[in-house]
Amino acid sequence: MGNRMKLGNLKPTSELTEEDWVGELKHIDDQLTRVLDVFNFLEELIRLSNESDVALSAFNTTPLFWNVFRDSLQESMFMGVGRLCDISSDVVNVGRVLAGAMGHAEFFSKEALRRRLAKRDLTDSLADHLIENAWVPENGSALRPLKTEISSHLRRIEEIYLPVRGSYYGHRSIGVDARALFEKTNRTELGETLDVLRQLVGGLQFLYDNGVKPRVDVFGTKAIDLTSRRYVRDVVKAVAGREL
């Protein structure tokens, strides 16, 4: 019910207060966390189907349940990914959160950081260290490299995943070539995109909390959440009654 942050007429990002922006950042962080959980559940389910005879046997015992479960995860993932870049004018999305940060360099000043740190239970030496070493953007242009780094990933979602969300899952439009829509998707590339978006959101939060310069160019396996994947394995193992 609360997955879509729809606020009627949103303030222009230039008019956001610090509290407003933090709330929008948290909203996107919550959305991204949910998408990553679903992505990892689905990826582990697919992996077990392909690599574990024990898991496959368990799936085939009650195939209707597992097929519906898999399809529900996939639908949830496409809908969630779409929310991250929802182009509706009354919805908070990733681009808006970054624009808010770029438009308010004052949120990340040393004075603002000092005020926030004073509310945390930190030692004076740690607080002084964070302030002394804080990266302070002089203006919005200092955050522009973040926009450059994520632009291709947002475009990937807009060009490939939003059409699937809208034409297949959102409305199931008559005459839509579903095969053509899904052929453009790529699980590895989607994982990379989610990885970059998580770096962006986490980086902005870490900048706000600790004054650390955000980066989104560190490619790795951050989209792979081993805890989420272990949950799936534990459930399937329990159903199968033996090690996978």
Mean pLDDT across the chain: 92
Tell me whether residue 34 is in a domain.
yes
- Return the ∠ at Cα 106 (arms to 101 and 108), rounded to 5°: 70
Tell me whether residue 158 is in a domain.
yes
Residues 84-132 pLDDT 10s: 998 887 889 999 999 999 999 999 999 999 999 999 999 999 999 999 9
Q: Output the pTM of the full model.
A: 0.90
Cα 17 → chain centroid: 23
Tell me whether residue 103 is in a domain.
yes
Segments forming the whole domain that contains residue 105: 16-240
Confidence of residue 174 (pLDDT cuts 50, 70, 90): confident
Confidence of residue 1 (pLDDT cuts 50, 70, 90): very low
Residue 184 has pLDDT above 70, yes or no: yes
β-bridge mates for residue 6, sequence order: 91
How many domains does the chain contain in total? 1
Residues in the chain: 244
Tell me whether residue 168 is in a domain.
yes
What are the phi and psi torsion angles at 91 (to 5°)? -125, 140
Tell me whether residue 2 is in a domain.
no
Tell me whether residue 3 is in a domain.
no
Long-range contacts of 190-194 (CB under 8 A, 24+ apart): 190/39, 190/81, 190/156, 190/161, 191/39, 191/43, 191/223, 191/224, 192/153, 192/219, 192/223, 193/153, 193/156, 193/157, 194/32, 194/35, 194/36, 194/39, 194/81, 194/223
Tell me whether residue 90 is in a domain.
yes
pLDDT > 70: percent of the chain: 94
Tell me whether residue 30 is in a domain.
yes
**Alpha carbons 42 and 165: distance in angstroms, whole number:** 17
